């Protein structure tokens, strides 16, 4: 193991104690051979977590993506030691203001890669020096490095970083992943024996019976939400439920591990119809480019309106997830008599809950709704809707089910609007996997330079939100959209505003004292796109939160306190630039 300077500060003693704790409880693999389905054999054994707290499970449904790892709580602190799961070498290092933030990737001899994300910083001096050298050379705050040879080797249990809250993290934790080296597919760490304590059964919250919409899916569907007993892992709904002849089933459920309030995901679920398995979902691994397809697995219109996720026991036409299995005709049950259903849900530890219910086809079924005066869009088909001042392109990979759209040009004469307001109208919400492309042409002459123009969205509350877009040769702008709504071309000519800087001494990881400089910006419409910091006439790396509203610089303490000059330059997405010079003393 690499030797580190070990000062005797109280904070370092805390780190050392916690490192020993983590060594026993976290990320240490035993050498056992455990085979995996559709994956190379692994020599990794179980991760010794014991009672360690998990706040996010593999495959859990997040906003527009599957969770690709496991989130480990760090007691709401940053700066705790992160240890290598097993021997290997650092194969990738990433520093980003979004996503995984600061992240390390370790390639192990058996073809497995472990990932450690949202770090506060790296612990190995060689990594710190290499990253800094590239940042200074390119004068870029964000960087990504790949190493195909074992230049930076690590031992099992070696301190490789410090836990943090960087990138898109919403609270201090360690995001831990296991991936296959060749395919780069993330897979459930439980497949190689990763273990954490969980004896709690998942809970049903609602059974949902659907009367399909005009496209036989969730778009404009009717929903019958039937509350269930969240404390009962084996329950029966005693009342027979009346359904339409083409009904399908969904459910709302959650899982917990221990006494933590965090709600975890459902690993596996199955629907039986008259004791025949008709739908099965089980997530062990996935491709990252499949991640947005979670919106074809859930009732997206319901989620868009309520922020609650209903899992479907129905395969929508645009759902091509490979880990879903259905019978050839899952929605053709008998039309007479009672139909018996059983729903089973399972968490990552195998804890299972069951819900039994019966339905009967109602005799006087409602007629199927038909959409009038709207353009029908079907999954797997592309379409182009052309108007006078707008064009909407729906790709063959945009939709998960049949929906209806209209493109309406509204002549709203408002100061600041450079184009008509273009409304993408639909009678219901719908999921978009691959963005639709909206092109808007200007309608007014303006002296504002075209490089300041952008597409914006008008919310129902009256607020205007930045969308962006690419300028075309005819001065029209094309932007990506994923929801219906009202859109318009406006100009952003207002530069960001830099607030005062604060400098302070802080004790960093391992007890080292540093100077931290913090700078905030006022909200900018199009958002900060680039920033640069020059300290005492030398460029210096800085980090930012995802919105670019806060910047942090970590620098060494000089031998004696003195004055320092810091120049900060920021630019937003529409090219508006602001700069400020700060006089600091430390």
Give the residue from 136, 171, 192 where a domain finishes.
192
Q: Indicate the residue among 458, 491, 524 that finishes a domain.
A: 491
Are 209 and 332 in the same domain?
Answer: yes
68-101 pLDDT, tens digit per residue, is 999 988 888 888 889 898 999 999 999 999 999 9
**Domain identity same for 481 and 543:** no
Task: Specify the CATH number for the domain of residue 26.
Answer: 2.70.70.10
Whether residue 306 is contained in a domain is answered as yes
CA atoms within 13 A on the CB side of 583: 1
Residue 523 lies in a domain: yes
| Residues 415 and 466 grouped into a single domain | yes
552 in the same domain as 439: no
**Residue 34 belongs to what domain range?**
10-192
Per-residue model confidence (pLDDT) at position 314: 95
Our count of domains for the chain comes to 4
Residue 541 lies in a domain: yes
Contact 201, 233 (CB under 8 A): yes
341 and 242 in one domain?
yes
Cβ atoms < 10 Å from Cβ of 380: 11
Comparing CA positions, the residue from 215, 344, 218 lying closest to residue 277 is 344
Percent of the chain at pLDDT > 70 equals 88
- Using pLDDT thresholds of 50, 70 and 90, give the confidence band for residue 490: very high
Q: Is residue 44 in a domain?
A: yes
Does 428 fall in a domain? yes
Asked whether residue 61 falls in the same domain as residue 179, the answer is yes
d(CA 170, CA 45): 30
Q: Backbone dihedral region of 543: left (phi > 0), alpha (psi from -120 to 50 degrees) or beta?
A: beta
Same domain, 167 and 257: no
366 domain residue, yes or no: no
Q: DSSP 3-state assignment of 21?
A: helix
**338 and 293 housed in the same domain:** yes
The domain spanning residue 520 has which CATH number? 2.60.40
Whether 337 and 403 map to the same domain: the answer is no
Could you tell me if 17 and 164 lie in one domain?
yes
**Which residue, among 425, 519, 536, 543, has the nearest Cα to 481 in the 3D structure?**
425
Inter-residue contact 248 to 299 (CB < 8 Å): no
Q: Which residue, of 169, 192, 215, is where some domain finishes?
A: 192
CATH classification at residue 465 = 2.60.220.30
Whether 99 and 50 share a structural domain = yes
From residue 529, how far is each of 394, 468, 517, 526 by CA, in Å?
Answer: 28, 12, 20, 8
pLDDT in tens, 143-156: 999 999 999 999 99
Same domain, 477 and 396: yes
Q: Round to whole Å and give the CA distance between 546 and 99.
A: 8
- Tell me how long the chain is: 586
Average pLDDT over residues 558-572: 96
Q: What is the DSSP letter of 536?
A: T
């Amino acid at each position: 193991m690499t030797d580190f300077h070990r000062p005797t500060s109280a904070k370092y003693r805390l780190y050392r104690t916690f490192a020993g704790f983590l060594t026993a409880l976290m990320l240490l693999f035993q050498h056992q051979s455990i085979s995996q389905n559709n994956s190379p054999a692994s020599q990794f054994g179980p991760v010794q977590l014991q009672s360690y707290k998990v706040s996010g499970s593999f495959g859990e449904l997040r906003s527009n993506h599957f969770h690709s790892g496991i989130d480990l709580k760090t007691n709401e602190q940053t700066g705790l030691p992160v240890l290598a799961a097993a021997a290997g070498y650092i194969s990738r290092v990433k520093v980003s203001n979004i996503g995984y933030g600061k992240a390390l990737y370790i390639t192990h001899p058996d073809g497995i890669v472990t990932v450690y994300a949202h770090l506060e910083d790296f612990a190995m001096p060689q990594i710190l020096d290499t990253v800094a050298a590239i940042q200074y050379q390119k004068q870029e705050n964000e960087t990504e490095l790949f190493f195909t040879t074992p230049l930076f080797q690590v031992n099992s249990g070696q301190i490789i970083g410090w836990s943090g809250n960087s990138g898109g993290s919403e609270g201090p934790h360690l995001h831990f992943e296991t991936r296959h080296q060749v395919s780069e597919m993330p897979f459930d760490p439980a497949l190689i024996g990763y273990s954490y304590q969980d004896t709690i059964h998942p809970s049903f919250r609602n059974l949902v019976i659907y009367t399909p919409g005009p496209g036989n899916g969730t778009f404009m569907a009717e929903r019958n939400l039937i509350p269930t007993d969240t404390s009962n892992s084996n329950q029966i709904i005693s009342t027979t439920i009346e359904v339409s002849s083409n009904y399908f089933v969904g459910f709302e459920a959650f899982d917990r591990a221990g006494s933590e309030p965090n709600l975890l995901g459902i690993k596996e679920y199955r629907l039986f119809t008259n004791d025949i398995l008709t739908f099965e979902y089980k997530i062990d691994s996935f491709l990252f480019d499949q991640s947005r397809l979670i919106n074809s697995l859930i009732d997206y219109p319901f989620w868009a309106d309520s922020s609650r996720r209903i899992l479907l026991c129905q395969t929508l036409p645009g759902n091509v997830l490979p880990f879903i299995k259905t019978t050839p005709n899952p929605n053709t049950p008998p039309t007479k008599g009672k139909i018996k259903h059983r729903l089973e849900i399972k968490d990552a530890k195998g804890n299972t809950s069951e819900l039994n219910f019966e339905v009967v086809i109602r005799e006087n079924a409602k007629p199927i709704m038909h959409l009038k005066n709207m353009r029908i869009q079907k999954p797997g088909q592309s379409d182009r809707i052309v108007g006078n001042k707008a064009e909407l392109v729906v790709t063959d990979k945009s939709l998960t089910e049949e929906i209806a759209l209209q493109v309406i040009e509204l002549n709203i004469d408002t100061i600041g609007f450079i184009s008509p307001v273009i409304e993408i109208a639909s009678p219901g919400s719908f999921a978009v996997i691959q963005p639709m492309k909206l092109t808007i042409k200007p309608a007014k002459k303006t002296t504002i330079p075209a490089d300041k123009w952008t597409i914006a969205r008008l919310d129902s509350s009256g607020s205007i939100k930045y969308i962006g877009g690419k300028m075309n040769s005819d001065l029209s702008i094309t932007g990506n959209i994923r929801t219906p709504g009202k859109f318009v071309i406006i100009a952003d000519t207002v530069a960001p505003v830099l607030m005062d800087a604060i400098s302070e001494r802080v004790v960093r990881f391992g007890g080292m004292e540093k100077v931290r400089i913090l700078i905030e910006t006022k909200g900018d419409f199009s958002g900060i796109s680039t920033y640069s910091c020059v300290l005492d006439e030398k460029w210096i790396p800085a980090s930012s939160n995802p919105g670019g509203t806060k910047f942090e610089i970590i620098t060494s303490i000089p031998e004696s306190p003195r004055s320092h000059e810091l120049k900060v330059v920021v630019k937003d997405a529409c090219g508006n630039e602001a700069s400020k010079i700060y006089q600091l003393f430390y």
